[in-house]
């Protein structure tokens, strides 16, 4: 118990003192998470809408594929992308390996199925009359999609939160693709793993607390949004 209490004391001290390493790692994590969430949602939400509303050959297979991708192990995704981004890989020329861009690429691959599958479910739960009504009042495809999205906005906000949650808490791809380089690709999760293995429990705990605070802030923001959007 002393060990745990000591860890908390040191964590609190680091946070209060504004430790540059803790906040530097948090900044990298936030940058990666925001960019990866934005990209995965920008592609995943329209993909989910398309899967939910269009009838085409192979739609069921596409939905099954997206749902299966939800369960992809992060280390396997990291490994595959490592092969692609490594010097001898097809995208080796980009020089992304061990950069924050590589972590973003891995996180996008992991969050995209979440954004697509959950937004498809969210759109499917919207009353089909919303789409018909928008169309019969003269809306084109984009305006119809926007109207449906407005009706499903709470569910879609939850989709964005889930995608953010996946990205910010992921470790496997970040470790393999980023290399956990100090000041460059060290994220909160990879740093927690590193400092725990080095026995610096206080530092690991401080970083863990920052991670929890990040998740809390995003959820509070969502609740505020839901409160404003009532009715």
Partner 1 sequence: MLELRGVRHRYGKRVVLDLEQFTVPRGAVVAVVGHNGAGKSTLLRLLALLETPTEGQILLNGVAVPRRASAALRRRVTLVEQRPMLFRGTVRENLEYGLRLRGIGRTAVTGIIGHMVEQLGLLPLLDRRRAELSDGEVQRVAVARALALRTDVLLLDEPASSADSAAAGALYRALAAERAARPVTVCVASHQLEDAYRWADDIRALADGRLSPVTPENLFRVDLPPGEGVKNVRVGGIEIAVMTERTGAAVLAVPPTDIFVSREPLASSARNVFKGRVTGMAIGRHGAGVHVRADMGADGGVELVASVTAEAARDLALAPGVSVVFSFKATAVQVF
- Binding interface with partner 1 (CB under 8 A): 127, 129-130, 132-141, 143, 147, 150-151, 231
Q: At its nearest, how many Å lie between partner 1 and the CB of residue 90? A: 37
Q: At its nearest, how many Å lie between partner 1 and the CB of residue 227? A: 15
Q: How far apart are CA 33 and CA 53, in angstroms?
A: 29
- Nearer Cβ to partner 1, position 83 or 141? 141
Q: At its nearest, how many Å lie between partner 1 and the CB of residue 158? A: 17
- Nearer Cβ to partner 1, position 73 or 141? 141
Q: How far apart are CA 79 and CA 102, in angstroms?
A: 12
Closest CA to 31 of 129, 100, 121: 100
Exposure on the CB side of residue 207, measured as CA atoms within 13 A: 28
- Nearer Cβ to partner 1, position 38 or 158? 158
Q: What are phi and psi of 27, to 5 degrees?
A: -65, -45
Q: At its nearest, how many Å lie between partner 1 and the CB of residue 146? A: 11
- Nearer Cβ to partner 1, position 69 or 222? 222
Helices (H) and strands (E) in the chain, counts: 11, 0
- Nearer Cβ to partner 1, position 149 or 204? 149
Burial class (CB in 10 A: 0-12, 13-18, 19+), 127: exposed
Q: At its nearest, how many Å lie between partner 1 and the CB of residue 66? A: 24
């Amino acid at each position: 118990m002393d060990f745990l209490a000591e860890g908390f004391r040191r964590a609190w001290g680091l946070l209060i003192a504004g430790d540059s390493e803790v906040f530097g790692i948090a900044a990298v994590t936030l940058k990666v998470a925001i960019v990866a969430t934005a990209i995965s949602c920008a592609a995943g939400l329209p993909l989910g809408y398309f899967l939910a509303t269009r009838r085409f050959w192979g739609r069921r297979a596409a939905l099954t594929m997206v749902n299966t991708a939800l369960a992809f192990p992060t280390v396997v995704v990291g490994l595959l992308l490592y092969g692609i981004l490594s010097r001898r890989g097809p995208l080796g020329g980009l020089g992304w390996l061990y950069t924050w861009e590589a972590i973003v690429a891995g996180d996008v691959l992991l969050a995209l199925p979440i954004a697509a599958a959950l937004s498809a479910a969210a759109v499917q739960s919207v009353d089909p009359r919303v789409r018909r009504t928008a169309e019969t009042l003269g809306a084109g495809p984009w305006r119809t999609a926007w109207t449906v999205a407005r009706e499903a906005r709470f569910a879609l906000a939850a989709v964005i939160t889930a995608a953010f949650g996946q990205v910010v808490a992921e470790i496997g791809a970040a470790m393999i693709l980023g290399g956990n380089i100090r000041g460059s690709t060290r994220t909160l999760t990879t740093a927690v793993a590193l400092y725990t293995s080095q026995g610096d429990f206080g530092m690991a705990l401080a970083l863990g607390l920052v991670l929890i605070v990040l998740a809390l802030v995003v959820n509070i923001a969502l609740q505020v949004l839901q409160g404003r959007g009532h009715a």
